[in-house]
Amino acid sequence: MALLPDGKSTAHDVRTIILAPTGKDGFLIAGLLERLSIPCHQVPCADDLCAEIARGAGAAIVSEEALTSQAIEALSGVVEQQPPWSDFPLILLTVGGQVTPESERLRQLRRPLGNIFLLERPIRPETLLSTLEFALRGRQRQYQIRDQMQQYSRAQDALRRSEKLAVTGRLAASIAHEINNPLEAVTNLLYLLRTCTDPKEARRYLDDADQELARVAEIAKQTLRFYREPNHPIDTEVGSVLRSVLVLYNSRLVAASVAVQLEIFAGSATILSSPGELRQVVANIVGNAIDAMRHGGRLRIRISTCTNRAGERRVRLTIADTGSGIPESLRPTIFEPFVTTKGETGTGLGLWVTGEIIRRNGWTVQVRSRCAPEASGTVFSITMAMRNSAVASRPERQRAVA
Ligand SMILES: Nc1ncnc2c1ncn2[C@@H]1O[C@H](COP(=O)(O)OP(=O)(O)OP(=O)(O)O)[C@@H](O)[C@H]1O
Ligand SMILES: [Mg+2]
């Protein structure tokens, strides 16, 4: 009999636990299984049975007389706590006979135990063995599902890490680009200074160079903040994270002729979050908005506060673009992995990770999109629990046209 599952399971996982404390059943069954090299373990009481199942087991053989109401209660607890992949098989050795009120009462009591095989005594060894084999095979399938679920979860972790690296990579390219522009300007100004004879003009060149270098310093400051900030949740100002993303996307916005309109009604509103996670969310949504406005457009970003039905203060971050819009057929799946319309240039992981971060932090997201030729565009609206509920929603409207 091939009862052992593949190598991923431990020796415990294939054991058959036997609870038959009265009479000779327990010893006879254990002897039979041992002769056939089927791993088994006898226990004297229901508490030990529960403990052994919790350590790992393939199936259990239990005699009906050991299954008292107390034992059923203890076992139901173990069954209830099973992980989603598990449906532990239990072979119950019953006393033959007619259906009586007592046998019916026991049947009802046993219902919470789930995956039960009933075998009426006296049992032929072949019947017991084939039932056990059937139960262990089912258990083996459950272990395969468990292993697949673990693999899937590991793959998801790897994808999450790779998307984080991809965001970092994209931002690094933006940073290099952003720093290059002012450095080129400073090189030109130094060249002009070398050939300049008018002290007033020279002074102006120096002032311009100062400004350009201040911009390089600002980009360096934002970038260093990005790498130094903690990975765990801290008080995070939504406005400041938003600005740090826009600084790094500035040249892409200019190159795509996108006008940026900031409507910051609650700039100092604070949430409890890892700043890196909020930045990843904003960077993904803004990055997608720029991609959707290849021929120019308007990016409107608003930070405001609102109160939910439970009376809790929330910060709302709205990012709206006038881009191509998300095709209707794509909308239900945009938060799933590998959904992309960008071919080689997109991985389709941006919104999947965004959705995961939003879910993990207990935020909510709403997406509205239109693809009509006369008015297309997309609006992402994220609401997050607010920390400093004392912040007034005072208008602090800014308009920046890139
Ligand atoms: N603002 C938007 N306007 C139009 N389409 C969008 C917008 N945001 C997302 N989409 C659509 O949703 C798809 C999935 O977006 P997502 O960010 O998950 O992946 P991606 O941008 O294609 O690739 P990645 O972000 O991994 O580089 C995009 O390919 C695009 O078709
Ligand atoms: Mg994207």
Return the CA Rg of the chain.
33
Ligand 1 centroid, distance to 363 Cα (angstroms): 20
pLDDT by residue (tens digit) across 44-56? 999 999 999 988 9
Give the closest residue (by CA) to ligand 1 atom 9.
288
pLDDT at 361: 92
Mutating to test ligand 1, I would choose from 288, 336, 347, 381 the residue with most ligand atoms within 8 A of its C-beta, which is 288
- Residue at 140 is within a domain: no
Q: Which of 27-31, 172-176, 351-355 has the highest mean pLDDT?
A: 27-31
Give the closest residue (by CA) to ligand 1 atom 27.
346
Q: What is the mean pLDDT of the chain?
A: 86
Q: Which atom of ligand 1 is nearest to the CA of 341?
A: 29
Ligand 1 centroid, distance to 290 Cα (angstroms): 10
Sequence-distant (≥ 6) Cβ neighbours of residue 75 within 8 angstroms: 46, 49, 50, 67, 90, 113
Whether residue 363 is predicted with pLDDT greater than 90 in this model: the reply is: yes
pLDDT at 110: 80
Q: Which of 67-71, 89-93, 398-402 has the highest mean pLDDT?
A: 89-93
pLDDT by residue (tens digit) across 205-221? 999 999 889 888 877 87
- Tokens of residue 102, six digits: 């007592």
Ligand nearest, relative to CA of residue 287: 2
Name the domain count of the chain. 2
Give the closest residue (by CA) to ligand 1 atom 12.
334
Ligand 2 centroid, distance to 358 Cα (angstroms): 15
- Residue at 394 is within a domain: yes
Q: What is the 3-state secondary structure of the chain?
A: CCCCCCCCCCHHHHCEEEECCCCCHHHHHHHHHHHCCCCEEECCCHHHHHHHHHHCCCEEEEEHHHCCHHHHHHHHHHHHCCCCCCCCCEEEEEECCCCCHHHHHHHHHHHHHCCEEEEEECCCHHHHHHHHHHHHHHHHHHHHHHHHHHHHHHHHHHHHHHHHHHHHHHHHHHHHHHHHHHHHHHHHHHHHHHHCCCHHHHHHHHHHHHHHHHHHHHHHHHHHHHHHCCCCCEEEEHHHHHHHHHHHHHHHHHHCCEEEEEEECCCCCEEEECHHHHHHHHHHHHHHHHHHCCCCEEEEEEEEEEECCCCCEEEEEEEEECCCCCCCCCHHHCCCCCCCCCHHHCCCCHHHHHHHHHHHCCCEEEEEEEECCCCEEEEEEEEEECCCCCCCCCCEEEEECC
Sequence-distant (≥ 6) Cβ neighbours of residue 157 within 8 angstroms: none
Whether residue 226 is predicted with pLDDT greater than 80 in this model: the reply is: no
- Residue at 7 is within a domain: no
Say which CATH number the domain at 313 has: 3.30.565.10
pLDDT at 185: 85
- Residue at 310 is within a domain: yes
Local confidence band at 133 (pLDDT 50, 70, 90 cut-offs)? very high
Ligand 1 centroid, distance to 134 Cα (angstroms): 48
Domain ends where: 70, 93, 123? 123
- Residue at 366 is within a domain: yes
pLDDT at 391: 55
Domain ends where: 86, 108, 123? 123
Q: Which residue range forms the structural domain that includes residue 25?
A: 13-123
Whether residue 296 is predicted with pLDDT greater than 70 in this model: the reply is: yes
Whether residue 390 is predicted with pLDDT greater than 70 in this model: the reply is: no
- Residue at 169 is within a domain: no
pLDDT by residue (tens digit) across 239-279? 988 988 888 888 789 889 999 999 987 767 999 998 888 98
Whether residue 3 is predicted with pLDDT greater than 70 in this model: the reply is: no
- Residue at 43 is within a domain: yes
Compute the C-alpha angle 86/88/91, nearest 5°: 160
> Exposure pattern of 214-253 as b/e (b: 16+ CB <10 Å)?
ebbeebeebbeebeebeeeeeebbbbebbbbbbbbbbebb
Give the closest residue (by CA) to ligand 1 atom 13.
340
Sequence-distant (≥ 6) Cβ neighbours of residue 114 within 8 angstroms: 79, 87, 88, 90
Whether residue 230 is predicted with pLDDT greater than 50 in this model: the reply is: yes
Question: Can you tell me the distance from the alpha carbon of 280 to that of 26, in angstroms, rounded to the nearest whole number?
Answer: 60
Query: Which has more confidence, 18 or 185?
Result: 18
Ligand 2 centroid, distance to 12 Cα (angstroms): 45
Query: Which has more confidence, 388 or 344?
Result: 344
Q: Is 390 found in the same domain as 244? A: yes
- Name all residues whose Cβ lies below 6 A of ligand 1: 284, 288-289, 292, 321, 323-326, 330, 334, 339-342, 346-352, 378
pLDDT at 282: 93
Whether residue 36 is predicted with pLDDT greater than 50 in this model: the reply is: yes
Nearest CA to 136 among 24, 279, 276, 40? 40
Whether residue 85 is predicted with pLDDT greater than 70 in this model: the reply is: yes
